Amino acid sequence: MTKEKKPVNVNSVGVVKTEYFSFNELLLENGERFGPITLAYETYGILNKEKSNAILILHALSGDAHAAGIHENENITGWWDAFIGPGKAFDTDKYFVICSNILGGCKGSTGPASINPKTKKPYALDFPLISINDIVNAQKRLVDHLGIVKLLSVVGGSMGGHQVLAWLVNYSDSIRSAVPIATTIKHSPQQIAFNEVGRQSIMADVHWKSGNYYDGTVPSKGLAVARMIGHITYMSDKSMAEKFGRDKKEAGEPFKFTADFEVEGYLRYRGDNFVKRFDANSYLYITKAMDNFDASKGKPFQEALRGVKAKVLVIAFKSDWLYPAYQSKEIVKACKLAGIETTYCEVDSAYGHDAFLLEVEEESHLIRHFLKKVYYAYEVTGNYGE
């Protein structure tokens, strides 16, 4: 438990510290045995005596373990701080919240930038081609390590939602509920295509050198372009129009292909910022894991869900064209066919895919209410209908 009693504001979990959990080996989906593995993680709130109030938060492509609060001597709040804290959707006065950086990531967990103990050099492309199921299997080890037999909920948006669905299929006995947000059972060709172009952009960078760039210049231009493509897909036509219009920046350097429009400056800024904090090889591995993921494992999804008893809340956003609402409805339909108690809400937001980070009020309301219902069922009955 990393929470300390230094609240930065009334609703913050305060100053938090990232912790690390290591284990020797994981049998990967491709049959390979891989290890050792370290997962960076943070927790907020207090685990109750019955260990019945733990919620696992699952992050998206560029996320990390730092979901809430601030780090000592830093000013950056966690990526879902608006949702996690005293009185917030994930009420830390009530729940014990865990968030870990995924296997394959570059924020403290073992990934392609980590040192390969056999060669004493970064893995680079010797890192195995991991899957979303591998990522979830590693998380399960962390949850076991924390002594939690049954999670109150697993919650995540976008690629976090892929992980939620993998938990639902692979570990349904270990969760009481699941909240997949703005996600899909499997990527469509359009979603694969956007990821593929990002990968191509990284691999086209002369500094990528088949992934062996760790002792020299990193492929920052290729990664920046990949991130810019991502940012376009995270916003909606409407939200971009509202945010930028066709406003021009003040005249910059006298170059023909200067960022004239505000939107160009914004994309360049976001791209340049991203390369400071993200590893290009992690981007390749994680996007490939997303594209290869199929929660239904080739069957109709309802068959993969057979016997699942967890309650499910599915949230989608109207203007999200990267993970369109029809994909969330496919999840809902399969859950209902599998006899799962499922709630669906399509939030009327203009923010596009980013809405899952930005629609604080409505999303919080939905999550708070859902968690209360699930938790209350446990508190009153002492079990969960099992």
The residues binding a copy of itself (CB under 8 A) are: 125, 129, 186-190, 192-194, 196-197, 199-201, 203-206, 221-222, 224-225, 228-229, 231-232, 235, 237, 240-241, 243-246, 256-257, 259-264, 267-268, 271, 284-285, 288, 291-292, 294, 321, 324
Say how many Å lie between the first and final Cα of the chain, rounded.
Answer: 29
Q: Which of 62, 109, 114, 158 is catalytic?
A: 158
Q: Which of 66, 162, 231, 353 is catalytic?
A: 353
Decide if 66 is catalytic. Answer: no
Q: Smallest gap, in angstroms, from Cβ of residue 7 to a copy of itself?
A: 38
Q: Smallest gap, in angstroms, from Cβ of residue 168 to a copy of itself?
A: 20
Measured distance CA(63)–CA(106) in Å, rounded: 10
Measured distance CA(149)–CA(16) in Å, rounded: 25
Q: Smallest gap, in angstroms, from Cβ of residue 123 to a copy of itself?
A: 12
Q: Smallest gap, in angstroms, from Cβ of residue 24 to a copy of itself?
A: 24
Residue closer to a copy of itself, measured from CB, 181 or 226: 226
Residue closer to a copy of itself, measured from CB, 146 or 166: 166
Residue closer to a copy of itself, measured from CB, 238 or 372: 238
Measured distance CA(148)–CA(94) in Å, rounded: 16
Residue closer to a copy of itself, measured from CB, 64 or 291: 291
Give start and end residues of each alpha helix (H) in 338-382: 355-358, 360-381
Residue closer to a copy of itself, measured from CB, 37 or 235: 235
Q: Smallest gap, in angstroms, from Cβ of residue 231 to a copy of itself?
A: 8
Residue with tokens 């080996």: 25
The residues with which 321 forms a beta bridge, in sequence order, are none
Q: Smallest gap, in angstroms, from Cβ of residue 194 to a copy of itself?
A: 6
Q: Smallest gap, in angstroms, from Cβ of residue 186 to a copy of itself?
A: 7
DSSP 257: T
Residue closer to a copy of itself, measured from CB, 87 or 252: 252
- The token duo for 121 is 């050099």
Beta-carbon contacts of 307 under 8 Å, excluding residues fewer than 6 positions away, are 172
Measured distance CA(357)–CA(59) in Å, rounded: 11
Q: Which H/E stretch holds residue 57? A: strand 54-58
Measured distance CA(280)–CA(137) in Å, rounded: 24
Buried/exposed code over 356-383 (b: 16+ C-beta within 10 A; e: otherwise):
bbebeeebbebbbebbeebbebbeeeee
Residue closer to a copy of itself, measured from CB, 189 or 382: 189
Q: Which H/E stretch holds residue 21? A: strand 19-23
Whether residue 162 contacts residue 132, with contact meaning beta carbons closer than 8 Å, is answered with: yes
3-state DSSP call for residue 88? coil
Measured distance CA(355)–CA(347) in Å, rounded: 9
Decide if 353 is catalytic. Answer: yes
Measured distance CA(344)–CA(159) in Å, rounded: 19
Residue closer to a copy of itself, measured from CB, 9 or 190: 190
Q: Smallest gap, in angstroms, from Cβ of residue 220 to a copy of itself?
A: 9
Q: Which of 81, 294, 320, 354 is catalytic?
A: 320
Measured distance CA(291)–CA(129) in Å, rounded: 12
Q: How long a stretch of residues is the chain?
A: 386
Catalytic sites, residue numbers: 158, 320, 353
